[in-house]
Amino acid sequence: MLTRRFTGFTAALAGAALLCTALTAQAREYSVSTVLSNAFPWGQAADKWAELVKERSDGRITLRVYPNSQLVNGDQTREFSAMRQGLIDMAVGSTINWSPQVPQLNLFSLPFLMPDYDAVDAVTGGKAGEMVFDAIESRGVIPLAWGENGFRELSNSKLPINEPEDLDGLKIRVVGSPLFHDTFTALGANPTQMSWADAKPALTTGAVDGQENPLSVFDVARIDQVGQKYLTLWHYMNDPLIFAVNRNVWQQFPEKDRELLRQAAEDAGAWEIEKSRGERDDRLAAIKERGVEVVELDDAQHQAFVDATRSVYNTWTPKIGEALVETARQAAENR
Ligand code: X2X
């Protein structure tokens, strides 16, 4: 009896030891944070990254995507800090949401810095992009590749916006950087900062009159259903995404896995950028089809918005860094 019990106990111990070995030998799962789910290009970019990494590592490395900013309780402006601290292993994040911790990331939010996709590619793919990546790395996070949330367009429930004066007094939901507060204040609007999680409820109740987001977000989140009847295509900023990894996590990977992760991020980013740009016309058609009144600005109207926000560009340039802004400006100009 005693012997049998003892045998049972040793067997259990041996079993536990085996389980431990199996667990340590088993590949670790790495968390990847995103704000938007895979109903949107943003979440699809993260899924693609996970898929490529799994495939190319023969299942050794598993990335698990956690959408809706759930790893930071909905507060997307804390994503970068959480990744730096190691609460999150990796992220595909917006430059806007990380800009409170990395001031250089405000570059992309400078009003009308990048007029078209070629300008975006010239900035992210050139010296300015390298400078931005250096700034991220100096803050303890390893950036790997670019993706794209898209050109942010302006919607509201009250009236067609053709000129800055139309924004007078409108309550606009804005994202996490104080730069947006300054931009909308310069335009005469009444900006309120809130997370994406709070934005749709605020639009639904009429707590705010308007918002700005890429067409893909407007389309997939069905922003037209919460009373946003007017949409102005002013392309005032492009919102790039960055694939990145916590530094300690990165350092634990052998060189060949780092290369695998980086290449997979680049391929996923390029895939997502092409797909999301390619879908833009169809999204716009779908939005119009639902009865949203779309305003496209002529050159003079566009210039009026550029002029009205020039002061923001000038005030924020030294905060971002004169050299970085100048490098980006030239890249955009010589695209
Ligand atoms: O909050 C937003 O507007 C969103 C989803 O576009 C970002 O996270 C920047």
DSSP result, 87-137: SSSEEEEEHHHHTTT-GGGGGGGSTTS--SHHHHHHHHTSHHHHHHHHHHH
Q: Could you tell me if residue 2 is inside a domain?
A: no
Ligand 1 atom closest to 195 (CA)? 1
Strand bridging mode 141-156 / 230-233: antiparallel
pLDDT in the model for residue 6: 47
Q: Establish if 10 belongs to a structural domain.
A: no
Judge contact between 98 and 79, C-beta under 8 A.
yes
Interval 2-40: pLDDT, tens: 445 545 544 554 555 444 444 444 568 999 999 999 999
What is the token pair recorded at 291? 């009865």
Q: How far is the CA of 213 from the centre of ligand 1 (A)?
A: 7
Nearest CA to ligand 1 atom 2: 196
- Alpha carbon nearest to ligand 1 atom 8, residue: 35
Q: Is residue 254 one of the residues assigned to a domain?
A: yes
CATH number at residue 100: 3.40.190.170
Minimum-distance ligand 1 atom for the alpha carbon of 152 = 6
Q: Map tokens 């980013």 to a residue.
A: 269
* Tokens representing residue 12 in the block: 């259990």
Mutate to test the pocket of ligand 1, among 72, 215, 217, 237 (most ligand atoms within 8 A of CB): 217
User: What does the pLDDT read at residue 48?
Assistant: 99
Give the predicted TM-score (pTM) of the model: 0.92
Q: Which of 53, 47, 52, 46 is nearest to 28 (CA)?
A: 53
Q: Are 169 and 189 in contact, with CB atoms under 8 Å apart? A: yes
> Do the domain assignments include residue 4?
no
pLDDT at position 28, please? Answer: 82
Residue 218 CA, ligand 1 centroid: distance in Å? 11
Pick left, alpha or beta for residue 111 (phi over 0 → left; psi -120 to 50 → alpha; otherwise beta): beta
Residue 196 CA to ligand 1 centre (angstroms): 6
Q: What is the CA(65)–ligand 1 centre distance, in A? A: 17
Is residue 50 in a domain?
yes
Beta bridge partners of 302: none
Nearest residue CA, atom 1 of ligand 1? 196
Q: Which residues are paired to 212 by β-bridges?
A: 154
Number of domains making up the chain:
1
Q: Please answer whether residues 153 and 210 qualify as being in contact, where contact means their C-beta atoms are separated by less than 8 angstroms.
A: no
CA-CA distances (angstroms) from residue 131 to 23, 61, 215, 240?
A: 40, 29, 28, 15
Ligand 1 centroid–CA 314 distance in Å is 24
- CB within 6 Å of ligand 1 — which residues? 35-36, 76, 94, 96-97, 149, 175, 196, 213, 217, 239
Residue 144 forms part of a structural domain: yes
C-beta of residue 49 within 8 angstroms of C-beta of residue 32: yes
Q: Domain containing 95: what range?
A: 28-333
- In the reported structure, the alpha carbon of residue 84 is separated from the centroid of ligand 1 by a whole-number distance in angstroms of 20
Residue 74 within a domain: yes
Name the β-bridge partners of 285: none
Q: Which two tokens stand for residue 255?
A: 């060189």
> What's the token pair of residue 310?
């020039």
Q: How far is the CA of 175 from the centre of ligand 1 (A)?
A: 6
pLDDT at 27: 64
Distance (Å) from CA 183 to ligand 1 centroid: 16
Q: Which of 68, 76, 99, 238 to mutate to test the pocket of ligand 1 (most atoms within 8 A of CB)?
A: 76
pLDDT at position 3 is 47
All residue ranges of the chain with pLDDT < 50 are 1-3, 6, 9-10, 13, 17-25
Looking from the CA of residue 211, the nearest atom of ligand 1 is 3
CA-proximal residue: ligand 1, atom 4 (nearest)? 196
In a domain, residue 170? The reply is yes
CA of 77 to the centre of ligand 1 (A): 10
What is the 121 CA–ligand 1 centroid distance (Å)? Answer: 21
Q: Which tokens go with 280?
A: 């833009």
Best residue for ligand 1 mutational test, from 95, 97, 105, 184 (most atoms within 8 Å of Cβ)? 97
